[in-house]
C-alpha cells in the first residue's frame, strides 16, 4: 500500500532552528525537506492518524545542543505529539480528544533546550473544534481555545475563548501576545510568562469595518498588522498600553486622551494609532514581519508578494508566482524564507532578492469548473504503463505525476496563455486522455463565450517525445463538433485512432496519418484528421469507449449504448435502455462485457453483454468513477454514499466486482469520494516493496480522492488489507478502515443471489442501506413502484391514455 | 617528481596504440596512475594531461578535444531505487540527476562538512582540490518502503579520504580522513551488511560503518596497490584485485582463494548475485573475464568475453527462473567508447561463445556531440535471452534515462535529441527499438470544417434476421421503423467487410397466419396441444395462483386494471404468467385480443427481469416470430380494407348515399385501430401515417385500375 499525492499546503510549513530543514504537514505525516537540495529527507509518521494541522519547532539555545531537534505537532485526530525529528522518533503523545485546528506554544521561546534555565512548563494554546455542536446551528460556538500544560500532559481549566469556528492562532515572536481574527475585529491576549491562571489573561479587541483574514505581530515593537477581505492592511501601533500594563493609574491617565490623539483607531480601542495600507485587490492571505522588524510581507490571491518597508511604506514586489499564495514563512537563517502557493507548491526564496532557489512540488489540486460545464468532473487521466497520473490544472497545464515515486514528472502547457489567478476564468482545460501505451495524449480546452460570443472548443492531439510524460503538440482542431462541447475522448488501443463524442449529437473518429514519407506534397496532411462521423437519432453522445482489442467502439447515445465498427463506421448493435443519460462507459478487460454508469435521478450501474446484447445485471447506485482491469474480468466502481448525515456526505465505497457475479469481490470505505477516480495500474517492477507485496499478481488499484490524494493498493491481497489495517488509519487518504467482504456482509456471504433463484428480500429499512442493497440484484427487487414509482407511472400511463 | 621511477606493470596498449599506462610508486610510498610518453602525443590523441604535483597531490585534467567520447574518468552511479543518478566528470563536482524528470536535481561542488565547528577540516581552495577516484551509492537499510534519506553516496578521493554524502539532505554525513594514504581506489558494499569496504593504493582494505563512518577494521590484502574491490551479495566473501585476484572471508579476513587475474590493474570487478562467479575487466584490456569462486587453489578464467574497447563498467545478473545453479548468466559491460555490451548464455560455455548485443547511442553525422552511455543497470531478466536495462546516456550536459528491454541478438540504437541540448523543441524524434523514426512534425490545425472527407454513416436498411432485442416494444418498432436504425447483424459486422442486406418485406403470398405459424413450427396441430398437460383453461388458474385474486384473462378488462394487477405481481410470477400467456396464445385458447394487453403490460413492467432470464429467450423468440407473422398479415388486410373502402366510396358516390359511407368508414377505422392495438401499443403517430400512406398509395393504383375497368 503506497499513499501519495498529499497536500503540502494544508498548513503553514515550519523551518528547523538551523534553517536547513523544512517541516511540511503532508496529510497525517510531517515531511522534512532539505532546504539546500529541495529533496525529502525523512518523514514523521506513526504518531497521528489524521491530518496534521500545525508544527512547532522547539528552539535551541546553546551551540552544543545543535544536533538536538525536537518539535510538537498537533492533529485533527485530537493528539499532540512530541518528536525528535533528526532520528525521527516519536517521544511523547498528549491526548486532547477534540480535533485540533491550530496550536501555538507561546512560551516555548523563553526556555529553549540546552539553556541553563530550569525548564518551566510548556503551555500549548490550541484551537479545537467541538464536534458535539452541529454546524447547522447558526449561532453555535463550535470553536474553543483551550490551554494545555504539555509538560504535565494536563489541561488547564477554563476556556480562553469561544468562536464560531476554530480559528487560526497567531503568536508574537517573544510569546507575549496571542491573537486571532474574529470577524471584524482582532482578539489579542497578553500571556503571562510563567504562572498560568486563565483568569489572569487579559484580552483586548481591535475593531475594523471589514472582515479580517490575517494578522501578524511585530517581532520587537508593540505593533500588530491585520489584513481584511478587501485587501487592506491595518497597522495598530502601541496596542494594549492601557489594559496590558496592569497599572490602573496609567489606565486612568490614558483615558483622558481624546480620540483625536489616536488617529485611525476605532471604537476607542486600546491602541495608540492605526494606519491603513492598500495595495492588494483581494483578500489578504498572509501577513508576516521580517525578523528584524523592518519589513512586512503580504500576499493574497493575485500571487504577488508585497514587501512593505514599515518606516516609509514603500513597496517592493515579487510577482509572477503564478498561483494564489497561502503562507509565508521566515527561517532563522535571514537569507532564506519560503512561500506556499495554492497549487501545492512550496518555493524556497533567497531572501533579499526573493529569487526562487528550490521548489517543492506536490500534485496539483483540483479546481472547480466554471458554470455551464457539462461534461465529466474528473480532472485526471492515467498513463497506466508508466504509472503516471495526468492532472488538469487551473493554469492551463496537464501535470504528470508519478504515482509510485510521489513526485511531479513534467507539466505540459495546453494553452499558451499566461495564467492570472485574479482574472475571471475565460479558458479552461476540460478534458485529458492518454492512450494506453502513453504515446498519445488528447486534450480539450474550452474558451468560455462572453455574452454568447467568442466561445471556442479546441481539441489537441499530442505525441510523446523520447522521455515519458514529454509531449509535443501534433494537431489542433478548432471546434471539432461545431459549437457543441465534447463529452468524452478515448484512444483506440493499438492504433493511432481516437474518438470524441459530443453533446451536439455526433461523434467523430480521428486518425493520425502515418504515410507522410511516401510523398512530400502530402506534408500538409500530416497530423490528425477526421476519419468518420456518426450519430444516432440525433441524441447527445455522452460517453465513448473502445474495447480492449480495439475492434468495437461503444458510444453512449444518452440512454442507450451503440456499438460501432470503428473502421467502417457501421452501427453494429444497440444495447440497453437506461432512464437517465449514461455518464461513463467501459469495456471490461478482454471479456464481452461492458459497464455503464448512469447519473441523474435514477442512477444505475449496469453490466451489459455484447454477445447477447442485453443487460446482465445492474444496481441502483450513485457511482462516481469506473475502472476496469486490462487483463482480468474485474472492474471497480467508486460509489458515493448518500447518507443523510452531513459529515459523511463525501464518503464513498470502492467496490471490486467480478463481471460474472453481482456480489462484490471486495469493498473498501474511503473518504472524499466526490470527484475521485480509480485506475488499475501494473506494478512497477523496479520497486522492491511492490514485488514483496503482491508476488505474481501485477495489477494494483489506484484510488485518487477529491483532493487528489491517492493510495495504491493491491485489490487481491486480502492479507495486505488485514495486516495493514492498523496502518490504514495513518495514511493520508484517511480511510475509515478497510474491510474484507466477510466483515461487512458477514452472514450474507453464503447466500448466493443468482438470478434463477427466488430472491428472499426483506424490505425492512436498514440504517445502513448500502449494505443491504447487495442482497440481491436490482432486477428482482419486487415492487418496482417502491423504487421508482413516479417514473414508471409516467411511462405507462402515457400510451394507454393516447389509445383511449 | 622527477625521481627515478620503476614501472610495476607492463605497458598495455591503449585503444589507439599510443602511450603506455604505467604505475609508479613515488618516493613517499604513494602511487599514481600516470599516463606516460610522449607528452605531445598524449595531448593530441588522448586529450588528457595529467600533472603530478607535490603534496597535496592534485591532478589537473585538461579536457582537450572532443572528437570522441571519453568516459574513462567519469564516475557514475545510480541510486538504489534508481530515481537518482550521480555523475562526476573529474572536476570535483557531483551532479545529481533526477532520472524520472530527467532534470538536474542538485549539484555538489564544494562539500562543506556538516560540523562547521570542527577544526580538523581546513578549507581547501575550490572544488578542484577534491579529486574523486571512486563513487558508490550505498543503501543504508534494506527496507520495503522506499524512503528518502535511506541512501548515502560514498566517495573516495585521491587524498585518501572517504566521504559519505547524504544526497537528499545535501550535506556531508561523515568523513574518514586519510583512510588510505595515497588515495582510495575502490568502494564496495553489500546489501545485507551495514558497512562498506574501501581499498587504497596502500594495499589495505578498510571496513567502514555506513551509519557513523567509523573504521571497523583494516587488513593488508596486497603489498601492491589494490585497484578494485567487490563484496558478494550475501556479504560473506570479499574479492580484491590489483593485477591478481584474491578472495577473503569477510568474517575473519582470511584469504580463501587466489586467481592469476590480469596482467594489468583490474578496472572493475563484480560478484554475480549468488556469489558463484567474479566478473572482471582490466585497464586497457579489451575483454571481460569470468572466474569461478570455490574451485581449486589456482584457477584460470573460465570464460573470456571480448569487446572492441576496454570495459569501464560491469554488471551481471543471473536468470532466476532457471532451477539449476550456474546457468543462465547475463553480463552487461560498458566500453570506453560509451557502447553497452550485453551477453547472455544459458551456460558458461555458451556465454563464452556468444557474440555481444550492442546498445549504442545513435549519433547524427553532422552533430559532434559527446554522446555515450554512461551507466547501466540490469534490472530484471524477465525471460531467457533478454534483460531489462536502465541506462543513462546522451551528452554529459544533459543525460537521458531510459528503461530498455534488450533482446539478445538485437542491437539497439538510442536516439538523441535533435535540436538543442537543453532547449526543449517542438520537433522531436521518436526513438524506437532498432530504428529511429524521424518525424519533423509541424503542428497541424483544423478548423470547423474538419470532417469534410469523413465517412458518414449510411442510413441503409439492414435486415435483422437473428437479432434479438431485450425490449419488446423496441423490437416491434424496429420492424416498422427500419429506416431509422441501420442495423446489421453483429457477427457480420465483426468480420470487417460490410455486408449490406436490404430489408425485404415478407412476401404477400400467404396471408393465413395459422398456416405460416404451422410452417415455422410455432403452432403445432391443435390435437397436440390438447394432449398437453395443461388443463382446459390454464391461464386463468395460473394467474389466479400468482395474483391471489380471481381475474379472468378472457374478459375484456380496462388497461388500468391490468396494469395494477401486473404491478402487484413479483417479477418471477410475472415471468411465469407470461409463459402461460404465450402458450395460451399459441394454442389460441383465449382470444388474442384479450391476451395481448396482458403480455404487453408484463413486458413493460417486468421486461428487464424477463430479459435477464436465459430461459425467456426462446419464449420471447417465439413471441417475436408470432407477432412478426401477424404484422405481415395485417398489411394485406389493411390493403383489403382500403380497397374495400374505396370501392364502397365509389359505390356510395355513385349512389349518392353519403351517410352510409361515413358509417362504414368509421368501422374501418375502428378495425384498423384494433389491429394496431394488438400489434404495437407504442407505435408512433408518424408510423400510423406511413401505414396510411401505403394504404392510400395502393388504393390509388388500384382505383386507377378500377377506373380503367370502369371506363
* Region at A155 (left for phi over 0; alpha for psi -120 to 50; beta for the rest): beta
Mean pLDDT over B238-253 rounds to: 88
Q: What is the rounded CA–CA span in Å between residue B574 and residue B546?
A: 8
Closest CA to B27 of B2, B60, B59: B2
Distance from CA of B608 to the nearest CA of A (A): 6
- Three-state DSSP state, A298: strand
Instruction: Output the CA torsion sign for B567, B569, B575, B581.
Output: negative
Neighboring chain B residues of A20 at a CB cutoff of 8 Å: 169, 171
The Cα A765–Cα B395 span in angstroms is 69
Please answer yes or no on whether B493 and A615 come within 8 Å at the CB atom: no
More reliable by pLDDT, A369 or B543 = A369
| pLDDT greater than 80 at residue B158 | yes
For A566, nearest residue in chain B (alpha carbons):
B496
Cell digits of residue A682: 501494473
Round to whole Å and give the CA distance between B271 and A393. 48
What pLDDT, in 10s, does the model give residues B674-693? 444 444 434 333 333 333 43
pLDDT at residue A718, as a whole number: 57
CB contact under 8 A, B117 and A63: yes
The pLDDT of residue A113 is 60
pLDDT the model gives residue A279: 92
Which whole number is the average pLDDT over A757-764? 33
Query: What pLDDT, in 10s, does the model give residues A12-67?
Result: 999 988 888 999 999 889 999 989 888 888 888 888 988 999 999 988 776 656 67
pTM, full prediction: 0.72
Q: Are strands B103-108 and B132-139 parallel, antiparallel or unpaired?
A: unpaired
- To the nearest whole Å, the CA of B261 is away from the closest chain A CA by 34
Interhelix angle A784-803/B592-612, nearest 10 degrees: 150
- The distance of Cα A124 from the centroid of its chain, to the nearest Å, equals 29
Confidence of residue A731 (pLDDT cuts 50, 70, 90): very low
> Which among B170, B493, B563 has CB closest to A37?
B170
CB-nearest partner of B455 from A474, A551, A569: A569
The pLDDT tens digits of the residues spanning A515-566 come to 544 444 444 456 888 888 988 888 899 999 998 888 899 999 888 899 998 8
pLDDT at A70: 87
Per mean pLDDT, which range of A476-490, B60-74, B645-659 is the poorest? B60-74
Which grid coordinates belong to A757?
A: 433463484
| Closest of B511, B455, B505 to residue B483, by C-alpha | B505
Rounded CA-CA distance A769/A750 in Å is 20
Query: Tell me: the pLDDT tens digits for A275-287?
Result: 999 999 989 999 9
Residue B448 and residue A482: Cβ atoms within 8 Å?
yes
**B353: three-class secondary structure by DSSP:** helix
Q: Are B598 and B555 in contact (CB under 8 A)?
A: no
Cα gap B328→B358, rounded to integer Å: 19
What b/e sequence results for A304-328 when a residue is b if at least 16 CB atoms lie within 10 Å of its CB, and e otherwise?
bbbbbebeeeeeeebeebbbbbbbb
Q: In whole angstroms, what is the distance from residue B181 CA to residue A484 CA?
A: 77
Specify the residue for cell string 494536563.
Answer: A154
Q: Are A507 and A519 in contact (CB under 8 A)?
A: no
Geometric angle at alpha carbon B642, from B639 and B646, rounded to 5°:
140
Give the gap in angstroms from C-alpha B444 to the nearest C-alpha of chain A: 4
Distance in Å, alpha carbon of B144 to nearest chain A alpha carbon: 5
Taking residues B548-569, report their average pLDDT.
69
Q: Which residues of B touch A758 (CB under 8 A)?
A: 572
Higher pLDDT, A103 or A640: A103
| Residue A436 distance to chain B (closest CA, Å) | 17
User: Would you say residue A294 has pLDDT above 50?
Assistant: yes
DSSP calls for A334-358 = TTEEEEEETTTEEEEEETTTTEEEE
pLDDT for position A744: 41
Q: Residue A412: closest CA among chain B residues belongs to which residue?
A: B424
Q: How do residues A656-703 score in pLDDT, each as one tens digit?
A: 888 888 888 888 888 888 888 899 888 765 444 444 444 455 688 899
Q: What is the pLDDT of residue A226?
A: 93
CA distance A705 to A693: 23
Are A474 and B444 inside 8 Å of each other by CB? yes
Instruction: Tell me the per-residue pLDDT of A324-335, one tens digit each, with 9 for 90 and over.
Output: 999 999 998 889
Q: What is the CA radius of gyration of chain B?
A: 46
Closest to A541 (Cα-Cα) out of A553, A558, A554? A558
Element holding A498 (H helix, E strand): strand A497-502
The rounded radius of gyration (Å) of the Cα atoms in chain A is 30
Asked whether the beta carbons of residue B488 and residue A465 sit closer than 8 angstroms, the reply is: no
The pLDDT assigned to B685 comes to 39
B559-568 and B592-612 helices, crossing angle to 10°: 30
- Whether residue B106 and residue A36 make contact (CB cut-off 8 A), yes or no, is yes
Tens digits of per-residue pLDDT, B468-514? 434 333 333 333 333 333 333 333 334 334 333 333 333 344 345 55
A268 DSSP assignment = T
Average pLDDT, chain A: 79
For the stretch B568-595, pLDDT in tens is 777 778 888 888 888 877 776 667 777 7
Buried b (16+ CB within 10 A) or exposed e, A580-606: bbbbbbbbbbebbbbbbbbbeeebbbb
CA–CA distance, A116 with A421 (Å, rounded to integer): 50
Taking only the tens place, the pLDDT of each residue in A99-125 is 999 999 887 776 666 555 555 678 888
Q: Do A804 and B484 touch (CB under 8 A)?
A: no
Give the ipTM. Answer: 0.77
B588 grid coordinates:
389460441
Contacts of B608 in chain A (CB under 8 A): 615, 618, 779
pLDDT band at residue A764, thresholds of 50, 70 and 90? very low
When CB atoms are compared, the residue of B170, B455, B572 closest to A34 is B170
Mean pLDDT across B213-227: 88
C-alpha of B102 from chain center = 20
Q: Which residue has the cell 443519460?
A: A581
Amino acid at each position: 500500500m503506497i499513499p501519495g499525492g498529499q497536500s503540502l499546503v494544508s498548513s503553514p510549513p515550519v523551518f528547523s532552528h538551523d534553517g536547513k530543514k523544512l517541516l511540511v504537514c503532508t496529510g497525517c505525516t510531517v515531511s522534512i525537506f532539505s532546504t539546500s537540495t529541495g529533496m525529502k529527507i525523512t518523514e514523521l509518521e506513526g504518531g497521528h492518524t489524521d491530518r496534521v494541522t500545525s508544527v512547532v519547532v522547539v528552539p535551541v539555545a546553546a551551540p552544543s545542543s545543535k544536533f538536538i531537534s525536537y518539535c510538537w505537532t498537533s492533529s485533527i485526530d485530537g493528539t499532540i505529539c512530541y518528536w525528535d525529528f533528526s532520528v525521527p522518533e516519536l517521544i511523547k503523545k498528549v491526548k486532547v480528544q477534540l480535533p485540533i485546528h491550530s496550536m501555538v506554544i507561546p512560551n516555548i521561546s523563553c526556555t529553549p533546550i540546552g539553556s541553563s534555565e530550569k525548564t518551566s512548563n510548556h503551555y500549548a494554546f490550541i484551537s479545537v473544534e467541538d464536534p458535539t455542536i452541529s454546524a447547522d446551528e447558526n449561532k453555535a460556538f463550535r470553536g474553543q481555545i483551550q490551554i494545555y500544560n504539555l509538560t504535565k500532559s494536563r489541561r488547564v481549566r477554563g476556556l480562553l475563548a469561544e468562536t464560531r469556528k476554530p480559528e487560526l492562532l497567531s503568536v508574537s515572536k517573544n510569546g507575549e501576545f496571542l491573537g486571532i481574527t474574529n470577524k471584524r475585529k482582532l482578539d489579542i491576549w497578553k500571556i503571562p510568562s510563567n504562572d498560568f491562571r486563565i483568569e489572569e489573561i487579559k484580552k483586548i479587541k481591535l475593531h475594523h469595518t471589514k472582515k479580517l483574514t490575517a494578522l501578524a505581530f511585530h517581532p520587537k515593537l508593540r505593533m500588530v498588522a491585520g489584513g481584511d477581505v478587501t485587501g487592506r492592511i491595518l497597522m495598530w501601533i502601541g496596542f494594549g498600553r492601557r489594559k496590558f500594563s496592569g497599572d490602573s493609574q496609567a489606565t486612568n491617565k490614558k483615558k483622558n486622551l481624546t480620540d483625536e490623539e489616536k488617529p485611525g483607531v476605532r471604537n476607542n480601542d486600546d491602541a495608540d494609532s492605526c494606519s491603513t495600507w492598500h495595495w492588494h485587490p483581494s483578500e489578504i492571505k498572509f501577513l508576516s514581519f521580517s525578523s528584524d522588524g523592518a519589513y512586512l510581507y503580504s500576499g493574497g490571491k493575485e500571487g504577488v508578494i508585497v514587501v512593505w518597508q514599515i518606516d516609509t511604506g514603500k513597496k517592493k514586489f515579487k510577482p509572477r508566482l503564478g498561483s494564489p499564495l497561502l503562507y509565508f514563512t521566515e527561517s532563522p537563517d535571514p537569507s532564506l524564507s519560503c512561500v506556499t502557493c495554492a497549487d501545492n507548491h512550496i518555493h524556497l526564496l533567497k531572501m533579499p532578492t526573493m529569487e526562487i532557489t528550490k521548489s517543492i512540488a506536490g500534485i496539483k489540486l483540483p479546481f472547480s469548473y466554471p458554470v455551464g460545464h457539462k461534461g465529466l468532473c474528473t480532472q485526471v487521466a492515467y498513463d497506466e504503463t508508466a504509472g503516471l497520473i495526468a492532472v488538469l490544472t487551473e493554469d492551463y497545464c496537464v501535470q504528470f505525476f508519478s504515482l509510485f515515486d510521489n513526485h511531479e514528472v513534467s507539466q505540459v502547457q495546453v494553452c499558451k496563455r499566461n495564467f492570472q489567478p485574479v482574472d475571471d476564468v475565460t479558458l479552461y482545460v476540460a478534458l485529458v486522455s492518454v492512450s494506453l501505451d502513453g504515446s498519445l495524449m488528447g486534450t480539450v480546452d474550452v474558451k468560455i463565450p462572453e455574452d454568447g460570443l467568442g466561445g471556442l472548443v479546441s481539441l489537441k492531439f499530442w505525441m510523446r517525445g523520447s522521455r515519458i510524460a514529454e509531449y509535443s503538440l501534433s494537431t489542433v482542431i478548432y471546434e471539432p463538433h461545431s459549437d457543441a462541447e465534447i463529452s468524452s475522448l478515448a484512444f483506440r488501443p493499438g492504433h493511432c485512432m481516437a474518438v470524441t463524442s459530443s453533446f451536439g449529437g455526433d461523434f467523430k473518429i480521428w486518425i493520425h496519418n502515418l504515410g507522410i514519407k511516401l510523398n512530400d506534397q502530402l506534408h500538409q496532411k500530416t497530423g490528425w484528421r477526421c476519419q468518420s462521423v456518426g450519430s444516432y437519432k440525433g441524441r447527445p453522445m455522452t460517453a465513448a469507449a473502445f474495447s480492449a482489442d480495439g475492434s468495437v467502439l461503444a458510444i453512449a447515445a444518452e440512454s442507450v449504448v451503440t456499438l460501432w465498427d470503428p473502421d467502417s463506421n457501421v452501427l453494429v448493435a444497440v444495447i440497453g435502455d437506461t432512464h437517465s443519460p449514461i455518464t461513463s462507459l467501459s469495456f471490461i478487460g478482454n471479456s464481452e462485457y461492458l459497464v455503464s454508469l448512469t447519473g441523474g435521478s435514477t442512477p444505475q450501474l449496469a453490466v451489459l453483454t455484447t454477445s447477447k446484447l442485453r443487460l446482465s445485471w445492474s444496481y441502483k447506485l450513485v457511482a462516481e468513477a469506473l475502472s476496469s482491469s486490462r487483463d482480468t474480468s474485474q472492474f471497480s466502481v467508486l460509489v458515493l454514499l448518500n447518507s443523510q448525515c452531513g459529515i459523511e456526505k463525501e464518503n464513498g465505497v470502492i467496490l471490486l466486482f467480478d463481471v460474472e457475479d453481482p456480489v462484490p469481490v471486495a469493498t473498501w470505505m474511503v473518504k472524499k469520494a466526490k470527484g475521485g477516480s480509480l485506475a488499475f495500474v501494473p506494478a512497477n517492477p523496479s520497486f522492491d516493496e511492490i514485488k514483496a507485496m503482491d508476488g505474481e499478481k501485477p495489477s494494483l488499484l489506484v484510488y485518487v480522492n477529491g483532493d487528489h490524494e491517492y493510495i495504491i493498493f493491491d485489490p487481491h491481497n486480502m492479507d495486505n488489507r488485514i495486516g495493514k489495517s492498523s496502518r490504514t488509519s495513518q495514511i493520508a487518504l484517511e480511510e475509515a478502515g478497510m474491510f474484507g467482504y466477510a466483515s461487512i456482509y458477514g452472514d450474507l456471504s453464503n447466500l448466493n443471489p443468482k438470478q434463477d433463484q427466488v430472491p428472499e428480500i426483506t424490505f425492512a429499512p436498514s440504517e445502513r442501506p448500502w449494505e443491504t442493497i447487495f442482497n440481491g440484484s436490482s432486477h428482482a427487487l419486487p415492487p418496482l413502484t417502491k423504487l421508482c414509482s413516479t417514473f414508471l407511472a409516467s411511462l405507462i400511463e402515457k400510451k394507454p391514455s393516447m389509445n383511449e | 617528481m622527477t625521481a627515478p621511477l620503476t614501472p610495476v606493470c607492463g605497458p598495455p596498449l591503449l585503444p589507439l596504440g599510443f602511450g603506455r599506462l604505467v604505475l609508479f610508486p613515488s618516493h613517499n610510498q604513494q602511487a599514481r596512475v600516470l599516463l606516460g610518453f610522449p607528452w605531445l602525443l598524449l595531448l593530441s590523441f588522448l586529450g588528457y594531461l595529467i600533472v603530478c604535483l607535490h603534496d597535496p597531490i592534485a591532478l589537473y585534467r585538461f579536457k582537450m578535444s572532443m572528437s570522441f567520447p571519453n568516459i574513462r574518468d567519469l564516475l557514475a552511479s545510480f541510486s538504489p531505487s534508481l530515481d537518482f543518478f550521480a555523475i562526476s566528470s573529474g572536476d570535483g563536482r557531483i551532479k545529481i540527476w533526477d532520472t524520472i524528470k530527467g532534470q538536474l536535481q542538485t549539484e555538489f561542488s564544494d562539500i562543506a562538512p556538516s560540523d562547521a565547528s570542527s577544526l580538523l577540516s581546513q578549507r581547501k581552495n575550490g572544488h578542484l582540490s577534491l579529486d574523486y577516484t571512486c563513487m558508490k551509492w550505498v543503501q543504508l537499510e534494506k527496507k520495503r518502503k522506499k524512503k528518502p534519506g535511506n541512501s548515502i553516496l560514498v566517495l573516495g578521493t585521491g587524498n585518501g579520504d572517504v566521504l559519505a554524502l547524504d544526497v537528499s539532505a545535501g550535506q556531508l554525513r561523515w568523513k574518514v580522513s586519510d583512510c588510505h594514504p595515497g588515495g582510495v581506489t575502490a568502494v564496495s558494499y553489500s546489501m545485507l551488511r551495514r558497512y562498506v569496504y574501501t581499498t587504497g593504493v596502500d594495499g589495505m582494505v578498510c571496513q567502514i560503518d555506513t551509519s557513523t563512518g567509523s573504521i571497523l577494521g583494516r587488513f593488508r590484502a596486497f603489498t601492491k596497490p589494490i585497484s578494485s574491490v567487490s563484496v558478494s551479495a550475501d556479504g560473506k566473501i570479499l574479492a580484491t584485485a590489483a593485477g591478481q585476484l584474491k578472495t577473503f572471508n569477510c568474517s575473519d579476513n582470511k584469504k580463501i582463494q587466489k586467481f592469476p587475474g590480469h596482467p594489468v590493474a583490474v578496472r572493475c570487478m563484480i560478484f554475480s548475485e549468488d556469489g558463484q562467479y567474479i566478473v572482471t575487466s582490466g585497464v586497457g584490456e579489451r575483454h571481460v573475464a569470468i572466474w569461478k569462486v570455490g574451485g581449486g587453489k589456482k584457477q584460470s578464467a573460465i570464460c573470456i568475453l571480448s569487446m572492441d574497447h576496454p570495459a569501464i563498467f560491469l554488471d551481471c545478473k543471473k536468470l532466476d527462473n532457471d532451477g539449476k545453479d550456474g546457468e543462465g548468466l547475463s553480463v552487461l559491460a560498458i566500453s570506453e567508447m560509451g557502447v553497452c555490451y550485453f551477453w547472455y548464455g544459458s551456460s558458461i560455455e555458451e556465454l563464452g561463445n556468444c557474440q555481444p548485443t550492442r546498445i549504442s547511442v545513435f549519433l547524427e553525422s553532422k552533430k559532434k556531440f559527446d554522446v555515450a552511455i554512461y551507466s547501466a543497470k540490469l534490472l530484471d531478466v524477465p525471460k531467457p535471452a533478454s534483460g531489462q536495462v536502465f541506462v543513462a546516456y546522451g551528452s554529459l550536459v544533459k543525460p537521458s534515462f531510459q528503461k530498455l528491454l534488450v533482446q539478445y541478438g538485437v542491437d539497439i540504437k538510442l536516439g538523441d535529441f535533435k535540436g538543442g541540448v537543453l532547449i526543449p523543441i517542438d520537433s522531436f524524434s521518436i526513438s524506437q527499438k532498432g530504428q529511429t523514426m524521424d518525424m519533423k512534425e509541424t503542428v497541424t490545425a483544423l478548423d470547423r470544417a474538419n470532417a469534410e472527407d469523413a465517412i458518414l454513416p449510411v442510413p441503409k436498411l439492414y435486415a435483422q434476421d437473428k437479432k434479438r432485442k431485450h425490449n419488446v416494444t423496441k423490437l416491434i418498432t424496429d420492424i416498422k421503423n427500419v429506416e431509422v436504425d441501420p442495423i446489421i447483424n453483429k457477427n457480420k459486422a465483426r468480420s470487417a467487410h460490410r455486408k449490406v442486406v436490404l430489408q425485404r418485406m415478407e412476401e404477400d403470398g400467404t396471408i393465413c397466419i395459422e398456416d405460416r405459424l404451422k410452417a415455422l413450427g410455432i403452432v403445432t396441430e391443435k390435437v397436440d396441444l390438447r394432449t398437453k398437460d395443461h388443463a382446459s383453461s390454464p391461464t386463468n388458474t395460473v394467474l389466479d395462483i400468482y395474483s391471489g385474486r380471481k381475474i379472468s384473462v378472457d374478459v375484456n378488462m380496462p388497461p388500468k386494471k391490468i396494469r395494477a394487477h401486473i404491478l402487484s405481481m413479483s417479477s418471477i410470477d410475472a415471468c411465469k404468467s407470461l409463459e402461460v400467456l404465450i402458450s395460451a396464445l399459441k394454442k389460441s385458447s383465449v382470444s388474442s385480443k384479450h391476451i395481448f394487453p396482458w403480455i404487453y403490460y408484463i413486458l413493460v413492467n417486468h421486461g428487464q427481469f424477463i430479459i435477464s432470464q436465459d430461459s425467456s429467450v426462446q419464449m420471447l423468440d417465439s413471441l417475436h416470430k408470432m407477432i412478426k407473422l401477424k404484422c405481415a398479415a395485417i398489411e394485406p388486410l389493411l390493403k383489403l380494407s382500403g380497397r374495400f373502402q374505396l370501392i364502397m366510396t365509389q359505390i356510395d358516390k355513385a349512389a349518392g348515399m353519403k351517410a352510409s359511407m361515413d358509417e362504414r368508414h368509421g368501422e374501418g377505422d375502428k378495425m384498423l385501430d384494433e389491429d394496431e392495438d394488438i400489434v404495437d401499443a407504442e407505435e408512433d403517430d408518424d408510423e400510423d401515417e406511413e401505414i396510411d400512406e401505403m394504404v392510400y398509395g395502393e388504393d390509388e393504383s388500384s382505383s386507377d385500375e378500377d377506373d380503367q375497368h370502369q371506363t
